[in-house]
Each structure stands twice: as structure tokens, then as C-alpha cells.
Amino acid sequence: MSAVVAGRQGLAARALGHPSFLVGAAISLVVAATALLSFVWTPHDPTVLDIGRKLQPLSAAHWLGTDQYGRDVLSMIMGGAVTSMAVSFVAVGIGLGLGVPLGLLAAGRRGPVGEAVMRANDFVFAFPALVMAIMLRDIFGPGALNAMVAIGIFNVPVFARLAYGAALPLWTREFVMAARVAGKGRGRITLEHILPNMLSLIIVQATIQLSLGVLAEAALSYVGLGVQPPAPSWGRMLNEAQTLMAIAPRLALVPGLAIVVTVMGLNLLGDGLRDLLDPRLARER
Amino acid sequence: MSLFSIERLQVSIYGQPILKGVSLSVGEGEILGLVGESGSGKSMTALAAMRLLPRGARTQGRILLDGEDILAKSEAEMCDLRGRDIGMIFQEPMTALNPLKTIGAQVAECFAQHLGAPRDECMAWAGQVLERVGLPPSRFPLDRYPHELSGGQRQRVVIAMAVALKPKLIIADEPTTALDVTTQAQILALMRELVTRDGASLLMITHDLAVVAEMADRVSVMRDGEVVEEGATAAFFSGMRHPYSRALLAASTHVPVRRRAGCARPSSLPPAQPQGGQAEPILLAQEVVRDYRGRRRSLFRAPEKHRAVDGVSLAIRPGESVGLVGESGCGKSTLARTLMALEPPQGGTVLFRGRSFADFSSADLTALRRAVQVVFQDPYGSFDPRHKAGRLVAEPLYLLRGEIDAAERNRRIAAVLRDVGLKPEDAEKYPHEFSGGQRQRLAIARALITRPSLIILDEPVSALDVSIRAQVLDLLAELQAEHGLAYLFISHDLAVVRAITDRVLVMRAGRIVEEGPTEEVFSAPRHAYTRELLAASPDLSRALAARDMRAPTTNRAAGEVPPGG
Amino acid sequence: MLTFLARRLASLLVTLAVASAVIFAVMEVLPGDPAEIMLGTNARPDTLAALRANLGLDRPATERYVAWVSGFLQGDLGRSYTYSVPVGELVAQRLWVSLPLAAISLLLTVLIAIPVGAIAAARRNRPVDIGIMAATQVGIAVPNFWFAMLLVFVFAVSLRLLPAGGFPGWGAGLWPALRSLILPAVALALPQASILARVMRSSLIDTLGEDYMRTARAKGLSRSEAVRRHALRNALIPVLTIMGLQFSFLLAGTIIIENVFFLPGLGRLVFQAITQRDLIVVKSVVMLLVASVVIVNFLVELAYAAVDPRLRRRA
């Protein structure tokens, strides 16, 4: 609790003294800024093919060189950041928007309603995002939307279970009993006491799911179930680079490192947030 | 020459001093009671003696067993010594055993570790030890797992492991605190018997003076990492010198002064009959039944039901204080939740001012909630840690929404905070900034704010140290007189119930087995279970009287407090 | 114990039944007529109708569902539209690549993760632990298919130690077949092992703080004896949970990795089937994948019961 109680300054001070949080936050900000920047400026148009300039090495004009179709790699990486962020944010949004209310409902209602919600959850869990993407491909067509929905559906039970698992013990806590004795209904108690007390858990999990989303988007685009050309995507860049590993390993290294750095940044941010927001749990136990 | 002694022991954890020069000694075959409130350092003393202190601990001083300094031994020597020369019994039997191993294997491990005997032989010995602690293998096979045993039975297994190799010294850290009174009495008797039979010494750590009076030959009192007083038990109780010991004793035997509502003059006598003998009850329960679904035994049979409350009837009239006593799991809290309309009864009815819960409109429910408020046991769990005290205390004003404005709300918050001995400025603090006792005052303030006529108090002082407990009981008595409140006081602690109630109900396994005016029930219990409860409850004056009856042979002169103690 | 089994088994069957209905329904609403795709858009209507009848597409959906499920239960998965061979045969053939690959990488994952996690927990906050934690932090962030590409570049292209891809078949002998599975299995296992090692570490650290560990020490067990006899098995319970959850990632990973190494497994099959609109193959493989996730989670629950007596009930 001290996180909230000690006030924002206390939290900020501790955040500044937390290396993994700082590194994670910095990386995440850089990736997000890169993605935003690409909307207004990229060195070249990442979608323009120019066979004449294919496979150029690093140069002042092309900081990261060009690929086999003459596209500027740095511009593609910047555009790929947009794809990556957009897909994982929307997927987390779907997971949060559906999963958390479902979990809260199941925990608040218990009985048959709760049972049914959680059973359905277990069931969805049996469909890995990839399988979901395969099944949905022909409904949404291969593309960013397909990836978003497939990863998003996979996120729903993750958040539902988290919310359910966190809410159940809260419902038996005495302060919730006290709220009931104060005449408050389930919905009001959920909003006033249950949700705020699990918010830090949800924030941490959302960060983790973001990083998983980046990985999943890359994988789906790599196998052709995700973003389609000409939209830039790190996963598809890897696919296109695969046959050129021997000639131009740079083409595979750069997008791969972009994924690794982004995912690590988000994971470090998540770990940092857990440490910063959760001492309350450690303290109360 | 004592068997075991601690000399000027200092322990700090990451530089934070915990023990500041503790000295004590236990003679051969002697039982030393080490008493103190939470945070006094008594458990750290025990762990230091086992050399099992947490990480970051630094130790100074000497701990002598048979003249050898334990602190000078190597870790390998300590491993030989633990369990063989010193046995230890822990507070929490529910978690002290490995859930994945059978009790037989866990006890047998003691023998395997120290004697290196083959497995079969160790198991046979384990059976014998378990038999000695009252778990004969004929009824409790060695392949039982801990979760199949009750708390008291698990504590017997822990004791079996501690005494398995007949150690010279047994250290017991609050061994019965987590147990019910009847179980506590059995465990204490068992420990006394084992110690006498094996001629072992016992270092018994507890917060309960009555337990010490019953068990110990000598007493040491700890406070803030120091021993403040020590002496032979009888001499200690008859002539305490340190103010803290006296305060501890006073708090342990404290009976709050109760006044009748409206009377300014205190009267130490309990009222013969509460004023509202014929008044209409605030709450009237008739044959209330409450079932829980148990676990399903078979796919095709309905899950069995566990009857938590079985045909309970009771009435609470304005201004009276009703006690409900019983051991854990007897259904008292379930009954309380039913009376508060938090859970519906499966049978019988509950009437609020003559109106059944079953016919309640939402306006009726609001009226009930305004009139009947509650205080819970856990001073840490009963507040949302995210809200300030003012908002927490004002939460029940939700029931009066639309009726009072912000100014009245603030007036009421200030008034109830003053009522419970806090300051109106405390409204701006967060719960973690209050001590346990202050939080319980906050909980009482929250219950008062709707100006209820009845407050249900569910174990309100059980989590508090004795000195704080006494203060909270005083506050409750005072508030009752001032506001003409009725109480339903739920507790497992007979002394507390006796101190604060007019009428008492004794509950066992979902049923009320006896009820009547408190003094009558306590002085002349009619039901066998009530008698059993009373006999099992540690009682300071009774223990001291019994001690006088025994030959006062061991009444050596009280030991001096070591310098700096 | 028997009722426990029966109850779990019943819920397993219900889940599978619902899963099959969902998969069938989703595949039903797909736009596009398989017959039309096989014959091309300018096929004559009567040929189309004939093919439809041949494939059973003219019958009502419920009837086809029942036929599909009952076929599935008898091992008859229907006929592939494009390969014109029974899907069952096709799948069985491919399983002999995918299953060993998944099994080897699972084995590698466990063999790496458990000791590494245990060492980190035992040396908590010392250099070894910090190093392991940093390495796993990277391991989690590495996409397995990219890692696979790097492995190919180093071990196949540069060092020429192992084949870059393809599968000689088990007929070519055990070693050649295994050799071609080494790189894919390592690529799959390392990221998974990173996650599992972290779980093992934190679980073991939690267990070390349990009261019964202190009890064990009070009996005279040394620190390492107490860890071995009392902590490890308890610490494995959360690890088991995560392994169950990881299985679906492993499955997805297998499918993707097969594409990096051109392994003729289920993954290749399903992607070829997708591009060729061989719906019956897609449907069957998806069902198989979902069923294996469900069954593995069932087995994990049984494993729980084996490890934890609190879950075994004497009925």
C-alpha cells in the first residue's frame, strides 16, 4: 500500500532508484516514440521498391542498408514498430476489455454464473493464438486485424483468470464485508473496493501481455497469417531475410534485435512495475 | 549449574537491534515460561538458540547448553545437535508440516537423520513416538498426510518430532496459540507429561500469563528485546517488581467497569436483568439453519451438506450485551453473517423489529443495516488500504445518502472519532498509519456512525495484545453505557465474554447447548460442554490457587535480574 | 481417487465435444466453397454440383458435423481435397515428425530449466543468480523462429555441423533423423526454458520460506538436505502448472519452427492446406491440436494429484 499511501512523490522517488524499471521504461518509450515518429517522418518510404538499390550496405543515405527489393531497412523497422505496437495494444485492449469484466463478474456472482464463465475461459485457453489465427484467417482475411483478434481472444482468459483469482480472496476480506454492511451492492463494491485493489496486478499483467503480443505478432506475420505486404512488419522482414542469411545476415539481425529489445524493454518495465506497485502485498501478508 | 543458559545475547537483523542483551537460564528438568507481547523478541530468542535466525542476523553473547557455547559450534555440529539435544515446537501447526509427506515419514526422518537406522526401523520408532503423543497408529496410520488431521493432531505430530530423540531441552514457541481452548488444555497436559517423564527441560514461550501460571516453574518477562523481570512462578506472581510485569498482569485480569445506560455511577456488579427484559427484540432468530455445500464424494451423489448452524434461536433486546462463545468452526461467525442478512438462512427465520428477513424490501434492508452494524476481528483486514480513515469510517453513511449533507457527514466523522478516543484529524490518515488497537477503534467508529442500536462484535479483541485488549474492552463498555447500545459479542475467549456480557449463549457444532445470565452460566454451568470449556480455559487465579495446593518445594528465591536487564 | 478421475475425464470429454462443435461451426461460416476452389471459378455448375455431392457438401450442416465427429472417433478423418489421400494417413505421417520434435524440446526445456532455476534460487542475489536471471530475461525475449535462423546460420551454414533443414525420415536411420531435429528442438527449448527456469527459481524461493522448512532444519537436517527432501517436490507444483500452460506455446512453436527448417510435420501440412483451401485437413489438424492441449492439461491435473496428496481424495 505504501506505494499509494506514501504519495506520488514516494512512488516517483522509488521509480528513479529502480534500475530495471528505468531501463524498461526508457526502451518502451524509445520504441513508442519511434513508432509515432514514423507517422510523420521516415528516412525513405518503407513501401517503395527500388530494385536498382537492392542489398545496399550501411551508408549515410541508408543507415541500416536496403533489402533485396531496395527498401530502406531503417524505415521498415520504424514502420514495423507501428505494426507491432498497434497489434499488441489492440490485443491487450481486447483482453482487458472482455477478460477483466468477465473475471469480476464470475468472482462477484460465484454459483452457476461464475462457474460457466470460468469454464468458458478454460475452454478458450485450449485454442493457442496461432490456432485461432488459422481458424479466423478466412473470416477476417490475413492481416493485422486477424492477428489482433487472434491474440486478443487469447488474452481474454488470461485477464479473466487474473481478475477472478485476485477478486475471490478480496470478496472474503473483512473490508468487503464491511462495505456490504454499509448497504453497498455488488456492483458498487466491485468498483469501489475490488477493482482498485487489483489494479496494480492488472497493469503488470498488461505489460507482460504486451510483450507476448509483440512476439506473437512477429510469429504470425512470419508465417503469413499476420500483416500483409506492403505494410512493414518485423516478422515478415525476418521471413523475407531467411533465404538471404548467407549473403546478408544483417537483414535478419536487425528486425530480430528490434523484437528482442522491445520485448525485453516491456518485460523489464513489467518487473519494475510489479516491484513498485506491489510492496503493499508483501507488506500486508 | 543450569542445563541451558543465555548470556547477554544480542541479535540484530540488518543492523536493526532485535535483542539487546537477553539473559536467562533453564535448569535441568525445569520449565521456564518466557512471557512477552508481540514484538518483544521472544521468538527471536528461540530461533537464536537453534541457530536458525533469518538472513542478515548477527549474534553476540553466549548460549550455553551443558556448558558448551552453541554460538561457537560449526554448522555441521549444529545439525547434529538440532533435534537430538534440542527439540523445537512451533506456533502454527497448520504450516509446520510438509503437506506432501506422510506423518510417519516426517517423524521417522528424525531417527534416520540422527541414528542412520534403516527405514523400517525408523518407521517403527515413529509409530511408537506418535503413540506417546496420543496418535496411536491403530487410529492414525503412519501413511496419513497432514491435511487429513486437525490442528491439534498436527501439533501432536510436531511435538512427536521434537521429543522423538528425547532431547535435553525442548523449546516451544507459542505452541497452543493457534489452537482452541479444549485442544490447548490437552496439548499443555501432553507437554507437561512428556517433559516430566523424559526429565527434559522446557523453554515455553507464550503471551498468556495464565498458561505460564499453569505450566512454568520459573518465569522471565521480556519487553523490547530485554528481560525485565524473572523469578520463580509463585514468587513472581505474588511480588512483581517491574511496572511492566504488573501492567501485564493487570491487563490480563482486566474487567471493564460497566455502567447501565443513563447511570452516571459505575457499578462493578453486573446488572441482574437488562432493562429491556420485555422490550421487543431488535433481532430475533428462530430455529435458524445454515448449510454449506461440502465436497462431492461421488459423481452421482449430490454433494454432502455441512450444517454450520443447526436450529439456533436467540433474541437481542435494546441495551443488552449478549455473548456467544464457542470454539473455531462451531458456526458462530456463520450465525453472525446470517443475523446481518449477509447470507440467507436455509431454515427458520430472522426477524428485525418483528419483520422477517424473508419479507424484506430494500428499504427494510437499509433500516436493518442502519440499526445493526458490525466490528470484525482482524484490525488489518477490515479496512480498504487505499482509503483514508475519514472515508472508511464514513462508509456506512451510504445508508443515509440523501438524508445528510457534507457538513453533517464531517460532523459525524469527527464525533465518532472522538467517541472512540481518536482525534478528528486522524480522518486524514491511511489505515497503515494506525496501530492494531487504533485500527480496532476505527472499526468501532465505523460501526457507530449510523447510530445503530446493535453492534455485532466478531472476535473484536482476539488479535490484540493483552494491554491493548483491556483498553478496547473499556472503550466498548463505555460506549455501551453512553449510547445505550446492544452488543452481540462473539468470542472464543471465555474471560473476555465474562467481562463484558449480561447474557451468554454457548455454541457447539452449530447448536446452542446452554444459555443464561453470564455469571450464572460461568459459576454454575449446567451443560457438560460448558464445564469442559471452563475447565480448559487457562485461568490465572485458579492456576495460582492450584499451585499453592501443590507442595511449594521448588519455591527458590527469585532470581535477580541481570545487570542491564 | 476413482471419482476424481471420473470427474476429470467427464469434463475432458465435454470440453472436446464443445471444441469440435466450435471448430466445425467456425469452418462452416468461412466464405468460399471448397469445391469451387478446387475446380477454379470458371468450372461448370454441374461439375461443381457433382463434386459437392461427392464431398458431401450438399448435406445439411448438422448431418455433416455428426459424420465428421463419428468419423473422427473411428480414426477416419475424411479425404484430403488436394492430396486425395485419407487425412488420417496424412496426419499420421506428419505426426512422426512433429511429435518427436515436441517431445525432445519439452525434455530439453525441463532438463535445462529445473537445475538452472534451482541453482539460481540457492544462490539468490549472488553473481550466479544475477547472471542466470539476465540470461533468462534475454531468452524470454528471443522469438524462437529468429533464434532458429541464427542457429542455422552458425551451426549449419558457417560451421556445417548440422543440417540446415529438411528431414531424411526415420527410415534413414535414427541418428540422421535425430540430427535434423537437434537445431529445431534447441530453438524451441531455450526460450521456453528461460520462462520455466524463472518459475522454478521463484517457486523454490517461496518454498524455502515455508514453515515446514524450518521444522525440517529443527530436526537436524542441513540446509541442502532440507532443500532436497522437503523443498524440491513442493516447488515443482507451480512449475507443473506453467508447463501445462506452456504446452500450447510449444505446439504453436513447433508449427512455426517446422517452417524454418522445412520439416514435413503438421505445421507444414496445415500451412499448405490453408493456401490450398484444403478445409478438411485444416479442420482435422486444428481439432487435433486443440485436443492435444486439452488432453495435456488433463494429464497435468493427474500429475498434480500424483504429486500433491491434498488433491487425491479417498472416496
- What string of DSSP letters covers C250-305? HHHHHHHHHHHTT--SHHHHHHHHHHTT-HHHHHHHHHHHHHHHHHHHHHHHHHHH
- Positive/negative CA dihedral, B275, B278, B279, B283: positive
Which carries the bigger pLDDT value, residue A274 or residue C207?
A: C207
pLDDT band, residue B507 (cuts 50/70/90): very high
Whether residue B381 lies within 8 A of chain A, CB to CB, comes out as: yes
- What the block records as the C-alpha cell of C11 is 469434463
Query: What does the alpha-carbon distance between residue B366 and residue B71 come to, in Å, rounded to a whole number?
Result: 64
CA neighbor of B446 nearest in space, from B406, B391, B408, B484: B391
Residues of A with CB under 8 A from a CB of B: 1-2, 4-5, 173-175, 177-184, 192-193, 196-197, 280, 283-284
Amino acid at A49: L
Same domain, B214 and B347: no
> C220 vs B113: CB contact, 8 Å cut-off?
yes
Is residue B298 a part of any domain in this protein? no
Is residue B538 a part of any domain in this protein? no
Whether residue A246 lies within 8 A of chain C, CB to CB, comes out as: yes
CA distance A53 to chain C (A): 25
Query: What does the alpha-carbon distance between residue A73 and residue C146 come to, in Å, rounded to a whole number?
Result: 17
Query: What is the structure's pLDDT at C40?
Result: 65
Is residue B131 a part of any domain in this protein? yes
Nearest residue in chain A measured CA to CA from C25: A135
H helices present in A17-94, as ranges: 19-40, 73-94
Query: What is the structure's pLDDT at B300?
Result: 53
Give the residue extent of every domain in chain C: 2-73, 87-311
CB pairs under 8 A between A and C: 111
Distances (CA, A) of B485 to B232, B283, B371, B372, C33: 44, 13, 10, 10, 78
List the subunits that have 3+ CB pairs under 8 angstroms with B: A, C
Strand partners, B206: B35
> A280 vs B385: CB contact, 8 Å cut-off?
yes
Cα A251 from chain centroid (whole Å)? 25
Q: By the 8 A CB rule, do B483 and B492 touch?
A: no
> C150 vs A137: CB contact, 8 Å cut-off?
no
pLDDT band, residue A5 (cuts 50/70/90): very low
Task: Please report the DSSP string for B17-31 in residue order.
Answer: EEEEEEEEEE-TT-E
Phi, psi of B312 (to 5 degrees): -95, 130
> C212 vs B88: CB contact, 8 Å cut-off?
no
Of B369, B378, B432, the CB nearest to A174: B378
The domain that holds B58 is classified in CATH as 3.40.50.300
- Positive/negative CA dihedral, A26, A27, A32, A33: positive
CB pairs under 8 A between A and B: 68
Amino acid at C182: I
> B398 vs A182: CB contact, 8 Å cut-off?
yes
* Packed helices C279-307 and C87-122: angle between N→C axes, nearest 10 degrees: 40
Q: By the 8 A CB rule, do A67 and A251 touch?
A: yes
> A219 vs C142: CB contact, 8 Å cut-off?
no
CA distance B377 to chain A (A): 8
Query: What is the structure's pLDDT at B559?
Result: 40
C145 neighbourhood in chain A, CB within 8 Å:
219, 222, 238
Q: By the 8 A CB rule, do C11 and C297 touch?
A: no
Q: What is the pLDDT of residues B177-223, one digit of tens each?
A: 888 888 999 999 999 999 999 899 999 999 999 899 989 999 999 99
Strand partners, B227: B222
Q: By the 8 A CB rule, do A124 and C279 touch?
A: no
Question: Where are the extended beta strands (E) located within B233-362?
Answer: 283-293, 305-316, 321-325, 347-352, 355-356
CA distance B82 to chain A (A): 29
H helices present in chain C, as ranges: 2-29, 34-39, 45-55, 61-73, 87-122, 127-141, 144-151, 174-208, 211-218, 223-226, 232-260, 266-275, 279-307
Q: Which strands make up the sheet holding B283-293, listed edge to edge?
A: B305-316, B283-293, B347-352, B355-356
Query: What does the alpha-carbon distance between residue B479 and residue B377 come to, in Å, rounded to a whole number?
Result: 18
Beta strand pairing call for B4-13 and B16-26: antiparallel
Nearest residue in chain B measured CA to CA from C232: B100
Of A218, A223, A263, the CB nearest to C271: A223
- What the block records as the C-alpha cell of A12 is 516517483
Query: What does the alpha-carbon distance between residue C254 and residue A269 come to, in Å, rounded to a whole number?
Result: 29
Mean pLDDT of chain A: 85
Distances (CA, A) of A250 to A46, A68, A257: 17, 12, 10
Query: What does the alpha-carbon distance between residue C31 and residue C7 come to, in Å, rounded to a whole number?
Result: 39
H/E stretch holding B11 reads strand B4-13
Q: What is the pLDDT of residues B5-36, one digit of tens each?
A: 999 999 999 889 999 999 999 999 999 999 99
Q: By the 8 A CB rule, do B382 and B439 touch?
A: yes
C19 neighbourhood in chain A, CB within 8 Å:
123, 126
CA distance B399 to chain A (A): 6
Query: What is the structure's pLDDT at B273?
Result: 46
- Positive/negative CA dihedral, A203, A207, A210, A216: negative
User: CB A160: neighbour CB atoms within 10 A?
Assistant: 28
Q: By the 8 A CB rule, do A73 and A67 touch?
A: yes
CA distance C192 to chain A (A): 13
Give the residue extent of every domain in chain A: 33-284
Query: What is the structure's pLDDT at A9?
Result: 54
B446 neighbourhood in chain A, CB within 8 Å:
178
Give the angle A136-C80-C49 at the CA atoms, nearest 5°: 90
Beta strand pairing call for B86-89 and B283-293: unpaired
- What the block records as the C-alpha cell of B260 is 447501565
Same domain, B233 and B315: no
Residue C87, C-beta contacts closer than 8 angstroms, at least 6 positions apart: C77, C78, C79, C80, C280, C281, C284
- Name the least confident of B263-272, B481-490, C62-71: B263-272
Same domain, B310 and B246: no
Amino acid at A28: S
Same domain, B212 and B329: no
Query: What is the structure's pLDDT at A278?
Result: 63
Tens place of pLDDT per residue across chain C (315 aa): 677 778 788 888 888 888 888 888 887 766 556 666 666 667 777 877 877 777 677 777 788 888 888 888 887 877 787 778 888 888 888 889 999 999 999 999 999 999 999 999 988 889 999 999 999 999 999 999 999 999 999 998 888 888 888 888 888 888 888 999 999 999 999 999 999 999 999 999 999 989 999 999 999 999 999 999 999 989 988 898 888 888 888 888 998 999 889 999 998 888 888 888 787 888 888 888 888 888 888 888 888 878 888 776 543
Longest dimension (CA), chain C: 86
Q: What is the mean pLDDT of residues B511-529?
A: 94
A130 neighbourhood in chain C, CB within 8 Å:
251-252, 255-256
Preferred mutation among C14, C30, C144, C146 to probe A, highest tally of A CBs within 10 A? C146
Same domain, B395 and B453: yes
Mean pLDDT of chain B: 88
Query: What is the structure's pLDDT at C36?
Result: 67
Cα A91 from chain centroid (whole Å)? 7
> A128 vs C252: CB contact, 8 Å cut-off?
yes
Is residue B35 a part of any domain in this protein? yes
A171 neighbourhood in chain B, CB within 8 Å:
none
Q: What is the mean pLDDT of residues A41-59?
A: 80
Q: ipTM greater than 0.85, yes or no?
A: yes
CA distance C41 to chain B (A): 55
User: CB C85: neighbour CB atoms within 10 A?
Assistant: 11
- What the block records as the C-alpha cell of C61 is 450442416
C249 neighbourhood in chain A, CB within 8 Å:
128
Q: How many domains does chain B have?
A: 2
Residue A173, C-beta contacts closer than 8 angstroms, at least 6 positions apart: B381
H helices present in B181-324, as ranges: 181-198, 209-215, 233-238, 243-252
| SS3 label, residue A213 | helix
List the subunits that have 3+ CB pairs under 8 angstroms with A: B, C
CATH code of domain C87-311: 1.10.3720.10
Of A5, A175, A183, the CB nearest to B381: A175
Residue B181, domain extent: 4-250
Query: What does the alpha-carbon distance between residue B49 and residue B201 come to, in Å, rounded to a whole number?
Result: 14
Query: What does the alpha-carbon distance between residue B334 and residue B328 come to, in Å, rounded to a whole number?
Result: 11
CA distance C248 to chain A (A): 6
- What the block records as the C-alpha cell of C181 is 531435429
* Packed helices C174-208 and C232-260: angle between N→C axes, nearest 10 degrees: 140
Same domain, B191 and B312: no
Nearest residue in chain A measured CA to CA from B397: A182
- Positive/negative CA dihedral, A256, A260, A266, A267: positive
Preferred mutation among C14, C219, C240 to probe B, highest tally of B CBs within 10 A? C219
Same domain, B287 and B241: no
| SS3 label, residue B514 | strand
A33-284 fold: MetI-like fold (1.10.3720)
With a cut of 60, say whether residue B301 has pLDDT above it: no
Whether residue A19 lies within 8 A of chain C, CB to CB, comes out as: no
Query: What does the alpha-carbon distance between residue A201 and residue A83 come to, in Å, rounded to a whole number?
Result: 27
Query: What does the alpha-carbon distance between residue A185 and residue C285 come to, in Å, rounded to a whole number?
Result: 47
